[in-house]
């Protein structure tokens, strides 16, 4: 689905026209392209008192090849970077009259040591000086601690306050700049999350608060193919977001088994063949036709996957909508949406776990929705099912921890698909513009987020719901 | 501040005009009036399998004088009600052609026994049949369990799914009908919360999920004066929301000490005098002029309150805004907002707790904001401070539990005050209409919610944030 408005205001004629009459001009977001380097340019570093993450930060920036400049608040950064043999310098704010391009690609603030509300001035100081200096499609990342891990209520409070800052920055920054808060537990590995949030892969993820726990992390041998050799199951893979998830997982090295219903078997075959064609090393991809809601589906899926040697990743993407206000909704519309979007996931996971089809260290990712968070008119069935997916994530995270497995959900906002193309114009335009990016997301934005959660490097991330919504206004 | 549009479309000419051109017609919400009975009419009851709360529900309905009718899903309700000597009958859906007024004032669904997503059909069945039968300014209350108290992940998931249902119902119901979910722990007392959510006092509270824990609850001798004899401190009491909080607490029986800054001392005197005049039994109210952000304020407040015999209720309402995008925000604008809205609360509570000024069983209520939840453009300082208020509530709840104290926050959405009257027209109208009530709230709506949290009957409610926003679309 094309966003004609976005195309228009970014055309040479349209840009001038929009400017002359004061129309908003959504940024064309920078997304991952295999022919372009994923990282590059300069990161500006700020910090509150006693920052704990300078060393791992310097390591990650070195490993992705970004250069740092230190804001005045980041005391001690320069000597530390020098000790690691990393290039670094002092932050100079972007000046409007400067000829040279002096913008930075990202702003990172280490707030881990902030232990009292009176210390929050440091984060003001950094973003006051630096927010205007960030480039288009740039990144803001705030690093804090999970608030409840601070014994002192004042430290807990100050850490929780960072959410208001990070979300406000996401709403103030323009030009496709995202802003996210990573709550890093002591001893947690930040590389996987930092790579995701600094890269173009997280283009449409903003205003999110992500918790990273200490866990035994296997860093991929090749960060460009973190899923190398992993086997993945993707339901609803024939089209739209599911097809994109299958494609991204395969591009990152996974062997993907795509599942869809009999009616979609031709589309599924085409999708999986296209993925096969694009797999350089010839991944072992497969198309599996099954109605996931059928009573026999869990056992059949388990048997088929076991015959392939089991799997490492399950993505529950299959879902349907049957919208009506509740007074007009049929019993069948309720039952089928709950069953396909929620109960089927439960039955399938139970079968995969009981028979050890999902390997230890496995990853489960469910697809929830903004409607599951905020509720929606005409979607009592859909919103209930998608709130249930969130419940699944929180209820299963503890159960799965002992086996080194994680379970998380993505909650897409307005994504440009065949489904959203059918929404009436005015409502579609409102959905597209009511977010910090002033545009809908692409299926690939959801797929990239799923792939990040499915990575071996994401072992410390479980029980979470990551919105892929361009920081939609809508929430609860 | 008047909402002229709401007045217009509810005038005799305006109503016809609005109907003829298809304008939305916000409902004039029914609010508490001392000259009208708080409760009355009929409640329709629905239930899932194994409902746990029929007995306490019957007791509460008897005590507030509402009659029940049982939907087919509420098996066993009728004989149980009869055993309690309560009037009850069978639910008959409202028919458009009926002459008699057959609407019900409230719909209550007992979902406590729902233990699997496949059992969610019961809640669909009830609201499918009954949602259209609810009267204007009616109530939807869903009773569930705190999801994480269910050992079985499937039960946890199903309980979490109820959030999507309750929030969607709030968006579908028109005519000022609210919809809220109470998560009732085993052994928790539901009377205080049910009374609040069934009464006109909760007019602007919708789409909320409230957790009620088992706690030793002192039920008020007189439910119309639950705060009888309690001493309350209200900061920022001179005007607006603070004045309304002081007034409602006093009307419910509390002796109120209103605090405000020297510049507002005349307004504070007038507010407290007006409250004095309206207190039938002559409550011992006082005006105290103090700058809560001054370093000596905590000690001075503590001393003054101790001289009065200590207090039972603290309402941290004082707050300021100094909006600017962060690049243009001065250091002083940041510091003063954080200090007054957040750090001052911390210093004052520490002093009151250290010197036992706040009695055991005390109540602390902070005023947060939707901006603290979702962040806001031009409000990095304000949103950070209000997110910090949420952090305060979660960090202190456990600490205070041993002393029988609770701490909670209210998060107002768009409230009609002098502050919001200054917002430019288009933004003000968007803020007013982008919620399930299609209108802004009144200061009294926030005040009633504060008073409910401050009640002795709310002992089981702590660590929570209750939005008073008419189920604003805006969230995170």
Please say if the pLDDT value at position B2 is more than 90.
no
A23 and A111 assigned to the same domain: no
Give the integer Cα–Cα distance in Å for A62 and A55.
11
C-alpha dihedral sign at B428, B434, B437, B441: negative
A87 and A66 assigned to the same domain: yes
Please say if the pLDDT value at position A336 is more than 80.
yes
Q: Chain A contacts of B128, Cβ < 8 Å?
A: 326-327, 329, 331, 334
Bigger pLDDT: B326 vs A100: B326
Determine the number of helices (DSSP H) and then strands (DSSP E) in chain B.
17, 14
Q: Determine, yes or no, domain membership for B475.
A: no
**Residue A147 CA to chain centroid, in angstroms?**
21
Please tell me the predicted confidence (pLDDT) of residue A441.
Answer: 97
A188 and A262 assigned to the same domain: no
A168 and A265 assigned to the same domain: no
Question: Does residue B196 contact residue B106 with C-beta atoms inside 8 Å?
Answer: no
Q: Determine, yes or no, domain membership for B298.
A: yes
Please tell me the predicted confidence (pLDDT) of residue A280.
Answer: 67
Give the pLDDT mean for B344-368.
Answer: 98
Which of B154, B169, B377 faces A346 most closely, judged by CB atoms?
B154
Please tell me the predicted confidence (pLDDT) of residue B20.
Answer: 67
Please tell me the predicted confidence (pLDDT) of residue A4.
Answer: 78
pLDDT band with cut points at 50, 70 and 90 for residue A282: low
B184 and B323 assigned to the same domain: no
Q: Chain B contacts of A335, Cβ < 8 Å?
A: 121
CATH number for the domain harbouring residue A254: 3.40.50.720
Q: Determine, yes or no, domain membership for B224.
A: no
Chain A, 167 to 196: residues with Cβ < 8 Å from chain B are 167-172
Q: Encode pLDDT of A206-241 as tens digits.
A: 999 999 999 999 899 999 999 999 999 999 999 999
Q: Determine, yes or no, domain membership for A264.
A: yes
C-beta atoms of B118 and A343 within 8 A: yes
Domain boundary among B149, B177, B212: B212
Chain B residue with Cα closest to A179: B375
Q: Chain A contacts of B379, Cβ < 8 Å?
A: 168
pLDDT band with cut points at 50, 70 and 90 for residue B12: confident
Q: Determine, yes or no, domain membership for B476.
A: no
Please tell me the predicted confidence (pLDDT) of residue A102.
Answer: 78
Please tell me the predicted confidence (pLDDT) of residue A34.
Answer: 92
* B16 near A CB under 8 A: no
**Residue A247 CA to chain centroid, in angstroms?**
16
Domain boundary among B182, B212, B242: B212
Which of B150, B165, B473 faces A474 most closely, judged by CB atoms?
B473
Q: Encode pLDDT of B184-209 as tens digits.
A: 999 999 999 999 999 999 999 999 99
B442 and B385 assigned to the same domain: yes
Looking at the DSSP bridge assignments, the partners of residue A314 are: A233, A364
Give the pLDDT mean for A412-417.
Answer: 95
Q: Residue for token digits 């009718």?
A: B69
Please tell me the predicted confidence (pLDDT) of residue A1.
Answer: 62
Please tell me the predicted confidence (pLDDT) of residue A370.
Answer: 97
DSSP string, A72-132: TTSTTHHHHHHHTT--EEE-----TT-SS---EEEEEEE-TT--SGGGTHHHHHHHHHHGG
pLDDT band with cut points at 50, 70 and 90 for residue B7: confident
Chain A residue with Cα closest to B335: A121
Bigger pLDDT: A283 vs A257: A257
* A373 near B CB under 8 A: yes
Query: What is the rounded (10 degree) CA torsion for B3, B7, B8, B11?
Result: 180
Give the pLDDT mean for A31-36.
Answer: 94
Q: Where are the beta strands (DSSP E) in B194-343?
A: 209-212, 231-235, 255-260, 286-289, 311-316
pLDDT band with cut points at 50, 70 and 90 for residue B425: confident
Q: Chain A contacts of B400, Cβ < 8 Å?
A: none
Please say if the pLDDT value at position A25 is more than 90.
no
A47 and A24 assigned to the same domain: no
Query: What DSSP element (H or E) covers B467?
Result: strand B465-468
Please tell me the predicted confidence (pLDDT) of residue B281.
Answer: 65
Q: Chain B contacts of A159, Cβ < 8 Å?
A: 391
Q: Determine, yes or no, domain membership for A59.
A: yes
Q: What are the Cα distances from residue B454, in Å, to A153, B127, B232? A: 22, 32, 9
Other CB atoms within 10 Å distance of the CB of residue B1: 16
Please say if the pLDDT value at position A426 is more than 90.
no
* A131 near B CB under 8 A: yes
Please say if the pLDDT value at position B98 is more than 80.
no
Q: b/e map of B256-276 (b: 16 or more CB within 10 Å)? A: bbbbbbeebeebbeebbeebb
Q: Chain A contacts of B374, Cβ < 8 Å?
A: 167, 473, 475
C-beta atoms of B374 and A120 within 8 A: no
- Identify the three-state secondary structure at position B108: strand
Give the integer Cα–Cα distance in Å for B357 and B377.
39
Please tell me the predicted confidence (pLDDT) of residue B426.
Answer: 79
C-beta atoms of A128 and B474 within 8 A: no
B321 and B463 assigned to the same domain: yes
Tell me what the pLDDT averaged over chain A comes to: 94
Please tell me the predicted confidence (pLDDT) of residue B18.
Answer: 67
Please say if the pLDDT value at position B100 is more than 80.
no
Range of the domain at B172: 31-212
Please tell me the predicted confidence (pLDDT) of residue A241.
Answer: 98
* B138 near A CB under 8 A: no
Chain A residue with Cα closest to B207: A476
Question: Does residue A102 contact residue A95 with C-beta atoms inside 8 Å?
Answer: yes
A25 and A36 assigned to the same domain: no
Q: Determine, yes or no, domain membership for A476.
A: no
Q: Encode pLDDT of B107-162 as tens digits.
A: 999 999 999 999 999 999 999 999 999 999 999 999 999 999 999 999 999 999 99
Q: Encode pLDDT of B241-284 as tens digits.
A: 999 999 999 999 999 999 999 999 999 999 999 999 987 666 78
Q: b/e map of A383-419 (b: 16 or more CB within 10 Å)? A: bbbbbbbbbbbbbbbeebeeeebbbbbbbbbbbbbee
Count the domains in chain B. Answer: 3
Please say if the pLDDT value at position A281 is more than 70.
no
Is A382 an annotated catalytic residue? yes
DSSP string, A236-303: T-SSHHHHHHHHHHHHTT-EEEEEE-GGGHHHHHHHHHHHHHH-TT----EEEE--TTSTTHHHHHHH
Residues 6+ apart with CB under 8 A from B137: B27, B29, B30, B175, B176, B177, B200, B203
Please tell me the predicted confidence (pLDDT) of residue B21.
Answer: 65
Q: Determine, yes or no, domain membership for A9.
A: yes
C-beta atoms of A371 and B329 within 8 A: no
Please say if the pLDDT value at position A44 is more than 60.
yes
Domain boundary among A182, A212, A242: A212
Q: Encode pLDDT of A136-178 as tens digits.
A: 999 999 999 999 999 999 999 999 999 999 999 999 999 999 9
Give the pLDDT mean for B294-316.
Answer: 97
C-beta atoms of B375 and A125 within 8 A: no
B164 and B71 assigned to the same domain: yes
B257 and B337 assigned to the same domain: yes
Work out how many CB contacts closer than 8 A connect A with B: 260
A10 and A84 assigned to the same domain: no
d(CA A149, nearest CA chain B) in Å: 10
């Amino acid at each position: 689905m094309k966003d004609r408005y976005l195309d228009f205001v970014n055309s040479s004629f349209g840009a001038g026209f929009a400017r002359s009459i004061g129309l908003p001009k959504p940024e064309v977001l920078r997304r991952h392209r295999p022919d372009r380097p994923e990282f590059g340019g300069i990161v500006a570093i700020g910090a509150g008192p006693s920052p704990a993450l300078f060393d791992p930060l310097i390591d990650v920036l070195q490993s992705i090849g970004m250069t740092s400049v230190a804001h005045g608040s980041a005391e001690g950064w320069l000597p530390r970077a020098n000790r690691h043999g990393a290039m670094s310098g002092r932050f100079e704010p972007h000046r409007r009259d400067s000829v040279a391009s002096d913008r930075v690609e990202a702003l990172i603030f280490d707030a881990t040591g902030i232990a009292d509300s009176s210390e929050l001035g440091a984060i003001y100081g950094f973003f006051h000086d630096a927010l205007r200096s960030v480039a288009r499609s740039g990144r803001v990342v705030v690093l804090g601690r999970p608030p409840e891990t601070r014994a002192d209520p004042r430290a807990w409070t100050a850490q929780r306050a960072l959410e208001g800052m990070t979300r406000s920055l996401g709403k103030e920054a323009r030009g496709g700049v995202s802003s996210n808060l990573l709550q890093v537990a002591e001893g947690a590995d930040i590389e996987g999350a930092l790579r995701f949030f600094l890269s173009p892969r997280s283009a449409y993820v903003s205003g999110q608060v992500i918790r990273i726990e200490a866990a035994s992390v296997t860093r991929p041998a090749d960060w460009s193919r973190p899923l190398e050799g992993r086997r993945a199951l993707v339901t609803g893979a024939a089209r739209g977001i599911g097809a994109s998830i299958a494609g991204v997982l395969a591009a990152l090295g996974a062997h993907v088994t795509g599942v869809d219903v009999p009616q979609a078997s031709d589309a599924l075959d085409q999708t999986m063949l296209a993925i096969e064609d694009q797999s350089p090393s010839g991944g072992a991809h497969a198309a599996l036709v099954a109605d996931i809601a059928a009573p026999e589906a869990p056992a059949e899926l388990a048997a088929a996957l076991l015959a392939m040697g089991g799997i490492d990743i399950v993505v529950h993407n299959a879902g349907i909508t049957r919208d009506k206000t509740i007074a007009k909704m049929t019993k069948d519309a309720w039952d089928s949406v709950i069953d396909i979007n929620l109960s089927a996931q439960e039955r399938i996971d139970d079968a995969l776990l009981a028979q050890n089809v999902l390997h230890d260290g496995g990853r489960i990712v469910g697809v929830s929705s903004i409607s599951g968070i905020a509720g929606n008119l005409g979607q009592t069935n859909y919103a209930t099912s998608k709130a249930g997916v969130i419940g699944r994530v929180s209820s299963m995270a503890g159960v799965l921890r002992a086996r080194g497995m994680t379970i998380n959900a993505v909650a897409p906002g307005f994504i440009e698909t065949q489904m959203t193309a059918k929404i009436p114009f005015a409502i579609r335009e409102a959905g597209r513009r009511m977010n910090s990016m002033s545009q809908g997301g692409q299926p690939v934005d959801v797929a990239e987020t799923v792939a990040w959660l499915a990575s071996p490097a994401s072992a410390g991330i479980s029980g979470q719901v990551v919105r892929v919504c361009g920081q939609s206004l809508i929430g609860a």
